[in-house]
Structure 1
Amino acid sequence: MKARNILLIIFIIFLVGFLLLGWGIKALFKGAVQGEITEGANVALISINGPIVVGDHESAFSSDYVTSTEIITFIEDAEKNDNIKAVIFEINSPGGSAVASDEIGQAIKELRETTNKTTVSWIREVGASGAYWVASNTDYIVANKMSMTGSIGVIASYLEFSGLLDKYNITYESLSAGKYKEMGSPFKELSEEERDIFIEELKQIHQYFIEEVANNRKLTKKQVEEFADGRVFLGEKAKTLGLIDEIGGKKEALKYIETKLNITAEIVEYKESVSFLQLLTKLMSEQGFSMGKGLGTALTETNEKGVMT
């Protein structure tokens, strides 16, 4: 009886592994076919979806944020491809790192200056703060009438545990060389001098932001300063202020490109390629999570039917 159970388990494992392998190979070849179909495309679509950060993804499957390195790579690929005549940036992001936003913005600016390729930002639900910094570098900005744009401001924050340490009579002792080396440590209160230093730095970055928007959108610095207080604006108001060019979506973005360049737009989406090994890793991790979630849900439901604590 035990031998039969062992054989059954082995068979199930083999069957699941075979199905995963077949599904992965199918997905792999499907991606290759899609790539061949879009060879004649002349408009690149690059998505900026989620908070913007510097560096690379820790995981190829993390979709919670977008990295400047990844987006810049796509921009450079579009720049080198002679078939690509325009680039649409599909934006749905609340912003993020000032450095990462500026890196992407500079890459777009370089693309415009070194080639004749047209750049368009298509703002979906939100294109605010650093994401708007990015969008302002393109030739044309389209947004929905309910899209949230703007938020020209800078924020920084940190946690402070000094009160908690005092409450539990925990002593924090720091050894450092340099008057401001410990500035911003969560284990001590900021001095007024340190606070002033941080605020001054934020004001400087804010000025960079204002100047960038003014230059990119052909507005005066004074005009931008009037609404550069961190507020977000819906599409119609953003258009009135000169933050965007047109109310619309993908259709309007493509129409602008076709009219300006006198072409029929054919889109190719630029996205990170996924290896077969990464695909299997993702599948296994997702299945493991689902199984754990199912167990937790079952236990919770059992508890809800009994005594609640």
Structure 2
Amino acid sequence: MKKPESNKWTTVIIVLLVLFVLGWFFSKLIALAAGDIETGNVAIVPVAGTIFTSDGGFFEGVALSGDIVEQIEAADANPEIRAIILAIDSPGGAPVASSEVATAISRVNKTTVAWIRESGASGAYWIASATDYIVADPLSITGSIGVFGSYLDFSGLMADFNVTYERLVSGKYKDTGVPFRKLTDEERRLLQKKIDLMHEAFKEAVAKNRGMTRSEIEALATGEFFLGMEAKGAGLVDELGGKQEALGYIERTLKISAEPVLYQHEPTFLEVLSQFAASFNPRVRVSGTQAQLS
């Protein structure tokens, strides 16, 4: 009796998959038929969501450094593009991912501008600082030059339920930061040292990019976030405003009429299919200490 029910669900899944594939192909055909190919001389590269090197199978709310770097390099290689605007709306992200994008910007041979919208904090500010000019909304959140590696400690909760953690490691630091036991004082000092090293790299990058002295960056690199209007007075941004102000800077600097064109990663069919499949298989990931710029 259960077999027909199983066949029924198999048929439903196949039909949904076929409809999904057809919908994807038709959307591409319609875009081509409509001439959905824009031209311009100012590339707009979005940096939206938390910045990582990999999304682990999720797409929404994540800005992948590889995709952003790819668009930056494509815009830099296009002779018709005179300048690049990074449209930033991100709370930050992983140190390596942020550094990768900032490095790509530093290698660009064209005028670069950061346009901070709702948020351009932490790792996103690291990226913004690598551009030639930063425009931020007066009420945007920016700065937040710091690093955190905090995590939840479940050891007390486990004790309440009489659950124990059997420690089997090779190398005394191998399970440092697991949420199933408390840190030793030595481990805490070790992790704090790593976090401080990341913070130092963050500060050095921003100071170099913004032409700040050691004392100036030390005063700002406390992890505090600033509103755009505060960041302007602190020397973290150059102008308050939005897209038009960013384009205006380019027009004044290059003596051109700015024509923006969007440069963003278009997911491949396999990526879209992976996202579709992931929606039927929600996952919860629990990790130990993972440093993020904050």
Structure-1-length-normalised TM-score: 0.78
Matched, 1:148 2:141: yes
CA deviation map 1:245-282 (0-9, x unaligned): 00110001011111111111122211222456766887
Q: Which of these residues, 100, 119, 123, is aligned with residue 112 of structure 2?
A: 119
Aligned length, in residue pairs: 270
Q: Which of these residues, 207, 229, 234, is aligned with residue 222 of structure 2?
A: 229
Q: CA deviation at 1:45?
A: 0.7
Aligned to 2:100: 103
Q: Which of these residues, 60, 65, 78, is aligned with residue 63 of structure 1?
A: 60
Q: Residues 103-252 of structure 1: matches in 2 within 5 Å?
A: 103-111=100-108, 115=109, 117-252=110-245
Q: Is the CA contact (8 Å cut-off) linking 2:42 and 2:82 kept in structure 1?
A: yes
In structure 1, distance between residues paired with 2:54 and 2:179: 25
Q: Which runs of 5+ in 1 are unaligned?
A: 1-12, 290-309
CA deviation map 1:278-303 (0-9, x unaligned): 668878998x89xxxxxxxxxxxxxx
Among all aligned residue pairs of Structure 1 and Structure 2, give the percentage whose two residues are the same amino acid. Answer: 45
Residue 140 and residue 160 in structure 1: after superposition, are their counterparts in 2 closer, same or farther (change >3 A)? same
Q: Which runs of 5+ in 2 are unaligned?
A: 1-12, 282-294
CA deviation map 1:26-54 (0-9, x unaligned): 4213433676642x411111101111111
In structure 2, distance between residues paired with 1:18 and 1:129: 42
Q: Is the CA contact (8 Å cut-off) linking 1:56 and 1:70 kept in structure 2?
A: no
RMSD of the alignment, in Å? 2.9
In structure 2, distance between residues paired with 1:19 and 1:95: 37
Residue 280 and residue 193 in structure 1: after superposition, are their counterparts in 2 closer, same or farther (change >3 A)? closer
Q: CA deviation at 1:155?
A: 0.7
Aligned to 2:75: 78
In structure 1, distance between residues paired with 2:21 and 2:96: 41
Residue 179 and residue 50 in structure 1: after superposition, are their counterparts in 2 closer, same or farther (change >3 A)? same
Matched, 1:258 2:255: no
Residue 162 and residue 35 in structure 1: after superposition, are their counterparts in 2 closer, same or farther (change >3 A)? farther
Q: Is the CA contact (8 Å cut-off) linking 1:56 and 1:69 kept in structure 2?
A: no
In structure 2, distance between residues paired with 1:220 and 1:268: 36
Aligned to 1:43: 42
Residue 48 and residue 106 in structure 1: after superposition, are their counterparts in 2 closer, same or farther (change >3 A)? same
In structure 1, distance between residues paired with 2:83 and 2:225: 28
In structure 1, distance between residues paired with 2:225 and 2:157: 35
Residue 171 and residue 147 in structure 1: after superposition, are their counterparts in 2 closer, same or farther (change >3 A)? closer
Q: Which structure shows the higher helix fraction?
A: 1
In structure 2, distance between residues paired with 1:19 and 1:41: 35
Q: CA deviation at 1:58?
A: 2.2
Q: Is the CA contact (8 Å cut-off) linking 1:57 and 1:67 kept in structure 2?
A: no
Q: Which of these residues, 260, 263, 266, is aligned with residue 267 of structure 1?
A: 260
In structure 1, distance between residues paired with 2:223 and 2:43: 31
In structure 2, distance between residues paired with 1:156 and 1:16: 42
**Could you tell me which amino acid in structure 1 is paired with residue 69 of structure 2?**
I
Residue 162 and residue 57 in structure 1: after superposition, are their counterparts in 2 closer, same or farther (change >3 A)? closer
Residue 187 and residue 56 in structure 1: after superposition, are their counterparts in 2 closer, same or farther (change >3 A)? closer
SS, match of residue 233 in structure 2: helix
CA deviation map 1:144-190 (0-9, x unaligned): 11111101111111222222222222232122121211211212110
Aligned to 1:53: 52
Aligned to 1:28: 28
Give 1 or 2 for the bigger CA radius of gyration. Answer: 1
